[in-house]
Amino acid sequence: MKVIIINGFPQAGKDTFVELCKGCIDEVYPDTSGSVVIRELWASTPAKMALKYMGWDGKTKTPEIRDALCLLKALSESLFDWTMEYLKREMAHVELRHPTVDVVVIHCREPELIARLKKEFNAITLFIQRDSCVKYHTNSSDNNVCNYSYDYIVNNNSTIQKLERVAKSWMKEVLG
């Protein structure tokens, strides 16, 4: 199983890039006849679950909500290593219950956690760069997305068609 850790500023196109990768699997790997599966995990899930329990609607992402998620995540990691333990359990679940999953994409923002995940899961790292995206600078998670030496950087400054071509090429290179 290949593990990819993806990062980028909000609205850089991370989700879009993953969806394009999923959509080009059959074209990139025609001999697999739809058997290559990509699953996504988010390092922010435990903090999001906690904030929902406190009353957050799960959708609104104001700077204040982004700050709260960052603070909850930092607190839970410093006390319990919550995010890492959550992701380890999820990866074990994927391996046990979904043996057909070939690629797991972990969405993660914090450079220290990215380094730990890369080591733990023998992962590769990917940064989606988009010059026009909103670059929040209200919390350490958003402030530090560029403070890591990523294995791959995908520039998303053109059309969706260009990004789709990049996704196909990247999939061939990384998974080929």
| Percent of the chain with pLDDT strictly greater than 70 | 95
**What pLDDT shows up at residue 57?**
96
Check whether 165 has a pLDDT greater than 80: yes
Check whether 150 has a pLDDT greater than 90: yes
- As a whole number, the mean pLDDT across the chain is 90
More confident residue, 175 or 163: 163
Identify the CATH number of the domain in which residue 67 sits: 3.40.50.300
| Percent of the chain with pLDDT strictly greater than 90 | 65
Describe the strand order of the beta sheet including 2-7 as a list of residue ranges: 37-42, 101-107, 2-7, 124-129, 152-155
Average pLDDT estimate for 102-116: 95
Split into its structural domains, the chain has a count of: 1
Check whether 166 has a pLDDT greater than 90: yes
**What pLDDT shows up at residue 80?**
93
Cβ density class 85-97: b for 16+ within 10 Å, e for less:
ebbeebbeebeee
Residue identified by tokens 């909000």 is 10
Residue ranges making up the domain that contains 158: 2-175
